[in-house]
């Protein structure tokens, strides 16, 4: 396996998380201070936190019978299954999130998108793709992600196309290109995580990459790369000669 370091050049329904997962029953206060989300943010900065930890800080408290970690996990599952920011009515359906808190969540997400979004993000090397998707690396199921780019390879959108199984994600080219074409993109890249941490491409990975490359030629789109990634490493089809064009 070639675990590349950053170079100098260039669905199925998410299964609910059991309450027995370590730390969920007892809550954040049972964790050592240095492992609590707010303390980790203060010492290491926001980029070091997982999506779940960031939502725990945002929500602040849970409700009786459902601590903030469980509530944050349910909200994260909702966000992961949505292609855009969910309506307030959908967020408020989660037990423990009333309309007021749901409005705060929706406002935070929209403000973040307007203020920062993919500001100045441009894909020049595979490491740039990894930066855009690495927060998905800790998921327990494979996620196939598309990245729409303009002619200058500036990021237009990053979306989850499908959510698969623990060791496999099933995706069809039409699902990948639907949003890319609606974005009026000139180029695109795709990526998916391997929950096992192994980065070698599978036969299914090779097949979908070939199909995407052939379809991209017909559509006149530049297929930059297909990245397989884990929490700390990635594997690039482009750098390993897996793309013909």
In a domain? residue 97 = yes
- If asked whether residues 141 and 228 sit together in one domain, one would say yes
Query: Looking at 61-75, 133-147, 162-176, which range is the least confident one?
Result: 162-176
* pLDDT at residue 7 in the model: 41
- If asked whether residues 147 and 99 sit together in one domain, one would say no
Split at pLDDT 50, 70, 90, the class of 166 is low
- If asked whether residues 137 and 188 sit together in one domain, one would say yes
Per-residue pLDDT tens digits for 213-243: 999 999 999 999 999 999 889 999 999 999 9
- If asked whether residues 132 and 102 sit together in one domain, one would say no
* pLDDT at residue 62 in the model: 86
Average pLDDT rounded to a whole number, residues 114-123:
79
- If asked whether residues 132 and 95 sit together in one domain, one would say no
Q: Which domain, by its residues, includes 179? A: 126-236
- If asked whether residues 232 and 150 sit together in one domain, one would say yes
Query: Looking at 1-15, 42-56, 197-211, which range is the least confident one?
Result: 1-15
Checking if the pLDDT of 139 tops 50, the result is yes
Split at pLDDT 50, 70, 90, the class of 21 is very low
- If asked whether residues 135 and 228 sit together in one domain, one would say yes
> Cα separations (Å) of 65 from 71, 96, 111, 154?
10, 10, 31, 45
* pLDDT at residue 108 in the model: 92
Higher pLDDT, 5 or 145: 145
In a domain? residue 83 = yes
- If asked whether residues 54 and 34 sit together in one domain, one would say yes
- Counting the structural domains of the chain, the total is 2
Query: Looking at 12-26, 40-54, 72-86, 95-109, which range is the least confident one?
Result: 12-26
Residues 6 or more apart in contact with residue 120 via CB below 8 angstroms:
none
What's the chain's average pLDDT?
85
In a domain? residue 244 = no
- If asked whether residues 192 and 232 sit together in one domain, one would say yes
């Amino acid at each position: 396996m070639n675990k590349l370091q950053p170079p100098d050049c260039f669905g199925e329904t998410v299964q609910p998380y059991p309450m027995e997962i370590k730390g969920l029953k007892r809550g954040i206060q049972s964790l050592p201070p240095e492992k609590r989300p707010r303390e980790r943010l203060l010492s290491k900065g926001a980029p070091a936190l997982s999506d779940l930890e960031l939502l725990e800080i945002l929500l602040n408290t849970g409700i009786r019978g459902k601590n903030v970690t469980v509530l944050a996990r349910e909200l994260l599952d909702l966000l992961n299954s949505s292609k855009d920011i969910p309506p307030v009515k959908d967020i408020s359906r989660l037990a423990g999130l009333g309309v007021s808190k749901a409005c705060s969540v929706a406002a935070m997400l929209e403000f973040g998108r307007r203020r920062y979004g993919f500001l100045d993000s441009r894909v020049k090397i595979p490491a740039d793709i990894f930066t855009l998707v690495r927060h998905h690396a800790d998921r327990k199921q494979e996620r196939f992600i598309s990245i729409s780019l303009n002619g200058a390879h500036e990021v237009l959108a990053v979306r989850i196309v499908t959510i698969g199984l623990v060791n496999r994600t099933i995706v069809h080219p039409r699902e990948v290109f639907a949003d890319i074409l609606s974005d009026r993109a000139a180029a695109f890249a795709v990526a998916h995580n391997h929950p096992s941490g192994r980065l070698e491409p599978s036969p299914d990975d090779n097949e979908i990459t070939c199909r995407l490359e052939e379809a991209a030629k017909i559509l006149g789109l530049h297929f930059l790369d297909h990245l397989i990634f884990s929490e700390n490493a990635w594997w690039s089809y482009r750098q390993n000669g897996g793309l013909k064009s």
